């Protein structure tokens, strides 16, 4: 197991407020890590920093990509995404008025070229490219039982399926790390069980690192190999699920919140 | 030499402030309406035209004095604003915003061309109800009309600010502009508040119409088009939704125009206004007093 | 190969319609049913189709509210006016279109790079300002003959030329919209943050749509100058940008078919109201308000005419599998 992402002393200030202070963490190849903490602990902010949605005030993020180790500081969100860090959002952000297939195809944009002339004048090479990439996307959708819905507009999907599609869209980027921001939020127990199976499946079939923010402790304890605990913007603890369960600092932080 | 440059400067300052106060009065209406229903009320400049025409008629035919002409024009502006909102904008409150914008453009066309149809499109001389007197103060030429415009405009802006800050209706307006749904939940009557906002903003435009009639002596059905767009630019520069911003923006645009004109570049005065607009938006994307709200992820 | 064959069928259908449309119009002209008055209307409709589909690409597909379309149209118009006045040949005319497009692209990049980071109404007002600056510059140049405009521009943009240009630009825009590029710009419209996180360089794609729209506006301007033979800076003001916007919204934001339909409807309405004098604009304004109130998403919403759907029995998008 080797390190794929290394975060050193990451800080984010919003005006006078420190949302993330001196956070350091490492992610290894092919592992499932959970990021937990009370509401307002800075979990989503940390995700936003790692995926380039916001820029850190200080600190370093280095990523071991296919072309060697690169620093992610100062890179734009789309560059980070194309390097292999994909994510989902706490409040689902699908392309609502696009079809399920198009949602996935958008995420594959950087994986193929159609050429301006070929596109504008509909040369045979355009149709071949379109067919090939659509086939690839449909195959991916089929893995997650979405092949029947390719032509459905994303906004017309049921809530649980929308969450699933968002994960598929992220996977379509062929990421090395997948960040899932509260994937079980708003789900009923049955849907949560489905989701747990789904995340396991993703890990098993795609061999990628998965990081998830989650409040559902049964899901976290069930899935995570390692857990990071964030509180008031600082890293409170880290360890295996068993270690975290017995950590007094963690119990204190969660008291009156959600006792697992 | 030194003294004359200073004189020219003050002369332009006076001219710029007079023009700017008209823009400011108009900008207030744009900013209030935009603040509350996020609509660029394209017809606002035409309410100013209506105010000017009303002033023209009541002074010529009913022999109103300045104060009554001004107050009745404000009333007419307010009524026109409320009627327009009721018939054209209210049915579209939940429609795509661009639809409401096109409707506003349609209302503007209707007022401009309706007035042209009814009264002809040739410019008319606005009755000189107040005998123009020019004062020379340290070599700077100031007319009593300029003073009147400035004082009236500033007075109206202060009154407006008091209404918004101190009255119950003003509080309701501010609440609706922050969150209409929440405002409704705490018992604010949405329709009445929006009507009131239109009435208030449109009355300012009506007043501006009479004042500009006095200042430029000439009115016509299309007179609202260009000042309307300039005033909207002023509102954006000041930070749309902000009442002090609209006033500052109005004066700024007025001063800028006179400044560019005074250095002999009058052909480029509009270009200068738009250039400053773009630069300000690039530095302050929500204008001078606007709050830049970042999307939460 | 079957994919090619299926698509061949759709493409041939479109081609037949376009050629048939041309021959129908041509025959009616030869028979004298379409007189020069109606021909003039058809040309104006054609130019408006080019302008509206181009603006719809920017507003409806990329989701960027631009109010500066007339500025780019002015660039094309003046390029053609200046070049064909000096070299009154067909070669000169087509060169002038290319020159207009190139200058419009450069202008769109200069305007777009700083302003496209603005959102919504702020972008609209900034692009409107930029277009006004272009117009005011033209108004003050020697080569453009200042405020009085240019006259006696040689007429190369005859009805067939305009018809072919309408077909070509519409095909190019439709093909752009339904491709990798189209999906990317639509994702920007839907959700900029999600698009960035899906690896889309939103800045570049917004600019691509904006530049493409500007290029087609320049073509429309070239045709306009060459057909009308007279242009002046006042023709390319804010009101022109607004009237293009009206076509887009009336037809349906995000529907190219809608833009075509709205351009035709408004063109016919405009011609039918010719005899009403001043009342014409009053009726037009009232019609606009009523259509918007009773059909807020425009005549066609976001629907498109598609042979693919016609042939496969109009598959409705709504089936949900859970």
A156 touching C, CB under 8 A? yes
Residue A20 included in any domain: yes
What is the C-alpha separation between C55 and C165, in angstroms, rounded?
Answer: 16
Calpha distance C82→C149 (Å, rounded): 11
* A166 vs B contacts (CB less than 8 Å): none
Q: Is the pLDDT reported for residue B2 higher than 80?
A: no
Q: Tens of pLDDT along chain A (260 residues)?
A: 689 999 999 999 988 888 999 999 999 999 999 999 988 889 999 999 999 999 999 999 999 988 889 999 889 999 999 999 999 999 999 999 999 999 999 999 999 998 888 889 888 889 999 999 999 999 999 999 999 999 999 999 998 899 999 999 999 999 999 999 999 988 888 888 888 888 988 888 889 999 999 988 888 988 899 999 999 999 999 999 999 988 888 888 876 555 44
Closest by alpha carbon to B19, among B268, B262, B222? B262
Contact: A109, C183; criterion CB under 8 Å = yes
Q: What is the pLDDT of residue B84?
A: 96
Calpha distance B219→B123 (Å, rounded) = 5
Task: Please state, in angstroms and rounded to a whole number, the distance separating the CA atoms of residues A66 and B126.
Answer: 76
Residue in chain A lying closest to C187 (CA): A95
Contact C196 A53 (CB under 8 A): yes
Which chain B residue has its CA at the smallest distance from A43's CA?
B297
Question: Would an 8 Å CB–CB cutoff place B222 in contact with chain C?
Answer: no
Angle at A193 between CA A191 and CA A197, to 5 degrees: 115
Query: Is A48 near chain B, with CB under 8 Å?
Result: yes
Determine contact: C117 vs chain B, CB below 8 A.
yes
pLDDT at B114: 93
* Token reading at C128: 């409107």
User: What are the residues whose beta carbons fall under 8 Å from the beta carbon of A240, sequence distance 6 or more?
Assistant: A225, A226, A227
Q: CB B113 to CB C282 under 8 A?
A: yes
- Residue C303's pLDDT is what? 85
Q: Which of C176, C199, C317 sits opposite A119 (nearest CB)?
A: C176
Which residue on chain C is closest to A94 by alpha carbon?
Answer: C194
Q: Is residue A242 part of a domain?
A: yes
To which residue do tokens 């600190």 refer?
A59
DSSP classification of residue A153: B
- Tell me how many domains chain A contains: 1
Find how far residue C210's CA is from the centre of its chain: 12
Q: What's chain B's length in residues?
A: 297
Q: At residue B45, what are phi and psi to the nearest 5 degrees?
A: -60, -25
The size of the A-B interface in CB pairs under 8 A is 6
How far apart are the C-alpha atoms of B89 and B86, rounded to whole Å?
6
A87 Cβ under 8 Å from any chain C Cβ = yes
What is the phi-psi region of residue C146: left when phi exceeds 0, alpha when psi lies from -120 to 50, beta otherwise?
left
What global pTM score does this model have? Answer: 0.92
Closest CA to C44 of C220, C234, C169, C204: C220
Q: Which residue has the tokens 């080569």?
A: C143
ipTM of the complex: 0.91
Q: What is the mean pLDDT of residues B253-281?
A: 90
How does pLDDT run across A116-155, given as a tens digit for each residue? 888 898 888 899 999 999 999 999 999 999 999 999 999 9
Tokens describing residue C229:
């033979």
Q: Does A45 touch chain C (CB under 8 A)?
A: no
Is C288's Cβ below 8 Å from some Cβ in B?
A: yes
Task: Provide the 3-class DSSP secondary structure of residue A135.
Answer: helix
CB contact residues (below 8 A), chain C span 120-159, against chain B: 121-122, 124-126, 128-130, 132-133, 136-137, 139-140
Contact A144, A164 (CB under 8 A): yes
Give the separation between CA C74 and CA B221, rounded to whole angstroms.
Answer: 27
| A143 falls within a domain | no
Q: What is the pLDDT of residues B29-40, one digit of tens each?
A: 999 999 888 899
In angstroms, what CA-CA distances link C208 with B279, C104, C122?
Answer: 23, 13, 20
| Cβ-based contacts of A109 with chain C (< 8 Å) | 180, 183-184, 198-200
The answer to whether the CB atoms of C249 and B102 lie below 8 A apart is yes
User: How many Å lie between the alpha carbon of B296 and the closest alpha carbon of chain A?
Assistant: 10
CA-to-CA distance for C84 and C153, rounded, in angstroms? 7
Q: Helix (H) and strand (E) counts for chain C?
A: 13, 0
Measured between CA atoms, how close is C270 to chain B, in angstroms? Answer: 14
Token representation of residue A136:
């690839």
Phi, psi dihedrals of residue A189, rounded to the nearest 5°: -55, -35
Whether the Cβ atoms of residue B230 and residue B252 lie closer than 8 Å to each other: no
Examine residue A41 and state whether it is found in any structural domain, yes or no: yes
Using a CB-CB cut-off of 8 Å, the residues of chain A touching B297 are 44, 48, 53-54, 89-90
CB atoms within 10 A of CB C283: 15
Q: Chain centroid to CA B3: how far?
A: 35
Residues of chain C with pLDDT under 70: 1-4, 310-322
Q: What is the 3-state secondary structure (H, E, C) of chain B?
A: CHHHHHHHHHHHHHHHHHHHHHHHHHHHHHHHHHHHHCCCCCCHHHHHHHHHHHHHHHHHHCCCCHHHHHHHHHHHHHHHHHHHHHHHHHHHCCCCHHHHHHHHHHHHHHHHHHHHHHHCCCCEECCCCCCCCEEEECCEEEEHHHHHHHHHHHHHHHHHHHHHHHCHHHHHHHHHHHCHHHHHHCCCCHHHHHHHHHHHHHHHHHHHHHHHHHHHCEECCCCCHHHHHHHHHHHHHHCCCCHHHHHHHHHHHHHHHHHHHHCCCHHHHHHHHHHHHHHHHHHCCCCCCCCCCCCCC
R_g of chain B computed on alpha carbons: 19
Kind and range of the H or E element at C69? helix C69-86
Q: How crowded is the C-beta side of C108, counted as CA atoms within 13 Å?
A: 32
Residue A250 lies in a domain: yes
- pLDDT score recorded for residue C317: 39
Partners of A87 on chain C (C-beta within 8 Å) are 197
Q: Does C316 touch chain A (CB under 8 A)?
A: no
Query: Rounded to whole angstroms, how far apart are CA atoms C298 and C56?
Result: 13
How close A248 comes to chain C (CA, Å)?
Answer: 37
Instruction: Please name the residue ranges forming H helices in chain A.
Output: 43-50, 77-83, 100-107, 116-120, 124-143, 159-171, 189-206, 217-223, 241-246, 248-254
- Distance from A61 to chain B by nearest Cα, in Å? 20
Contacts of residue C35, defined as CB under 8 A and 6 or more positions apart, other chains included, come to: none
The two three-digit tokens of residue C108, written as one number? 């769109």
- Let me know how long chain C is: 322
Nearest CA in chain B to A47: B297
User: Could you please report the per-residue DSSP string of C92-146?
Assistant: HHHHHHHHHHHHHHHHHHHHHHHHTTS-HHHHHHHHHHHHHHHHHHHHT-TTTTG
B39, B106, B285: which to substitute to probe chain C, counting the most C Cβ within 10 Å?
B106
- Interchain CB contact of A77 with B (< 8 Å): no
Supply the mean pLDDT for chain A.
90
Q: What is the dihedral of CA A57, A58, A60, A65, to 10 degrees?
A: 20
A 98-137 residues with CB < 8 A to C: 98-99, 102, 105-107, 109-110, 112-114, 116, 119-122, 124, 126-131, 133
Which class for C112: exposed (0-12), middle (13-18), buried (19 or more C-beta within 10 A)? Answer: buried
CB atoms inside a 10 Å sphere around CB A18: 16
Per-residue model confidence (pLDDT) at position B294: 67
Question: What does the alpha-carbon distance between residue C217 and residue C103 come to, in Å, rounded to a whole number?
Answer: 12
Give residue A194's domain range: 3-84+174-254
Cα of B64 vs its chain's centroid, Å: 23
Q: Which residues of B74-87 are buried (b: 16+ CB within 10 A; e: fewer)?
A: bbbbbbbbbebbee
Contacts of C289 in chain B (CB under 8 A): 88, 103, 106-107, 110
Residue entry with tokens 């850190």: A56
CATH assignment of the domain containing A197: 3.40.50.300
Can you state the angle between helices B97-119 and B44-61, rounded to 10 degrees?
30
């Amino acid at each position: 197991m080797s390190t794929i992402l290394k975060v050193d002393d990451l800080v984010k200030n919003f005006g006078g407020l420190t949302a993330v202070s001196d956070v350091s963490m490492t992610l290894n190849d092919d592992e499932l890590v959970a990021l937990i903490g009370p509401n307002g602990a800075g979990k989503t902010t940390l995700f936003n920093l790692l995926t380039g949605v916001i820029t850190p005030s200080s600190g370093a993020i280095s990523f071991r990509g296919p072309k060697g180790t690169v620093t992610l500081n100062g890179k734009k969100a789309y560059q980070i995404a194309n390097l292999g860090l994909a994510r989902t959002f706490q409040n689902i952000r699908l392309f609502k008025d696009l079809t399920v297939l198009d949602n996935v195809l958008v995420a594959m944009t950087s994986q193929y070229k159609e050429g301006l002339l070929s596109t504008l004048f509909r040369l045979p090479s355009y149709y071949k490219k379109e067919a090939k990439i659509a086939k690839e996307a449909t195959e991916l959708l089929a893995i997650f039982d979405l092949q029947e819905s390719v032509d459905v507009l994303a906004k017309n999907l049921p809530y649980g399926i929308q969450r699933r599609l968002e994960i598929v869209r992220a996977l379509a980027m062929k990421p090395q790390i997948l960040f899932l921001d509260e994937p079980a939020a708003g789900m009923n127990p049955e849907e949560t069980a489905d989701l747990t199976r789904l995340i396991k499946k993703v890990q098993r079939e795609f061999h990628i690192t998965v990081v998830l923010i989650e409040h559902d402790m049964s899901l976290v304890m069930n899935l995570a190999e390692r857990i990071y605990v964030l509180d008031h913007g600082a890293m409170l603890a880290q360890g295996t699920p068993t270690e975290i369960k017995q950590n007094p600092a963690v119990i204190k932080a969660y008291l009156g919140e959600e006792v697992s | 030499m030194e003294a004359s440059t200073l004189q020219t400067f003050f002369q332009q300052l006076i001219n710029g402030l007079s023009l700017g106060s008209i823009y400011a009065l108009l900008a207030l209406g744009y900013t209030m309406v935009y603040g509350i229903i996020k609509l660029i009320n394209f017809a606002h400049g035409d309410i100013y035209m209506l105010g000017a025409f009303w002033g023209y008629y009541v002074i010529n035919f009913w022999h109103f004095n300045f104060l009554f002409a001004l107050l009745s024009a404000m009333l007419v502006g307010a009524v026109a604003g409320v009627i327009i909102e009721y018939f054209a904008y209210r049915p579209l409150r939940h429609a795509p915003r661009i639809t409401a914008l096109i409707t506003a453009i349609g209302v503007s066309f209707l007022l401009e061309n309706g007035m042209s149809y009814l009264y002809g499109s040739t410019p008319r001389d606005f009755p000189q109800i107040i005998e123009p007197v020019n004062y020379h103060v340290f070599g700077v030429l100031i007319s009593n009309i300029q003073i009147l415009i400035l004082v009236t405009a500033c007075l109206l802006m202060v009154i407006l600010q008091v209404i918004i800050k101190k009255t119950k209706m003003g509080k309701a307006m501010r609440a609706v502009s922050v969150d209409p749904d929440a405002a409704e939940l705490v018992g604010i009557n949405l329709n009445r508040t929006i009507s009131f906002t239109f009435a208030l903003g449109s009355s300012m435009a009506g007043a501006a119409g009479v004042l500009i009639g006095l200042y430029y002596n000439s009115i016509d059905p299309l007179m609202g088009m260009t000042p309307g767009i300039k005033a909207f630019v002023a509102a954006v520069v000041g930070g749309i939704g902000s009442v002090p911003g609209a006033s500052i923006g109005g004066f700024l645009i007025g001063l800028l125009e006179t400044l560019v004109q005074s250095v002999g570049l009058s052909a480029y005065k509009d270009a200068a206004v738009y250039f400053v607009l773009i630069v300000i938006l690039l530095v302050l994307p929500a204008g001078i007093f606007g709050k830049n709200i970042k999307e939460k992820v | 190969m079957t994919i090619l064959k299926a698509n061949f069928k759709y493409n041939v259908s479109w081609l037949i319609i376009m050629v048939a449309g041309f021959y129908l119009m041509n025959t009616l002209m030869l028979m004298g049913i379409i007189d020069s008055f109606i021909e003039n209307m058809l040309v104006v409709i054609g130019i408006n189709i080019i302008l509206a589909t181009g603006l719809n690409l920017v507003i409806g597909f990329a989701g960027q509210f631009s109010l500066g379309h007339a500025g780019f149209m002015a660039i094309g118009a003046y390029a053609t006016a200046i070049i064909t006045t000096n070299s009154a040949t067909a070669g000169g005319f087509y060169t002038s279109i290319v020159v207009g497009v190139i200058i419009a692209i450069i202008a769109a990049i200069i305007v777009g790079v700083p302003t496209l980071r603005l959102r919504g109404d702020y972008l609209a007002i900034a692009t409107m300002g930029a277009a006004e600056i272009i117009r005011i510059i033209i108004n003050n140049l020697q080569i453009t003959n200042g405020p009085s405009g240019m006259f006696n521009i040689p007429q190369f943009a005859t009805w067939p030329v305009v018809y072919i240009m309408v077909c070509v630009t519409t095909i190019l825009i439709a093909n752009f919209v339904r491709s990798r590029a189209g999906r990317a710009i639509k994702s920007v419209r839907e959700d900029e943050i999600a698009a960035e996180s899906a690896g889309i360089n939103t800045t570049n794609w917004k600019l691509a749509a904006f530049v493409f729209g500007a290029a087609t506006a320049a073509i429309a301007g070239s045709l306009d100058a060459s057909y009308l033979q007279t242009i002046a800076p006042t023709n390319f003001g804010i009101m022109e940008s607004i009237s293009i916007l009206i076509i887009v919204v009336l037809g349906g934001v995000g529907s190219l078919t809608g833009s075509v339909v709205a351009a035709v409807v408004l063109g016919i309405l405009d011609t039918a109201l010719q005899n009403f004098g001043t009342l014409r604009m009053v009726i037009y304004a009232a019609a606009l308000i009523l259509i918007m109130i009773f059909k807020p998403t425009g005549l066609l919403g976001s629907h498109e005419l598609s042979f693919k759907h016609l042939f496969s029995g109009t598959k409705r998008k709504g089936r949900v599998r859970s």
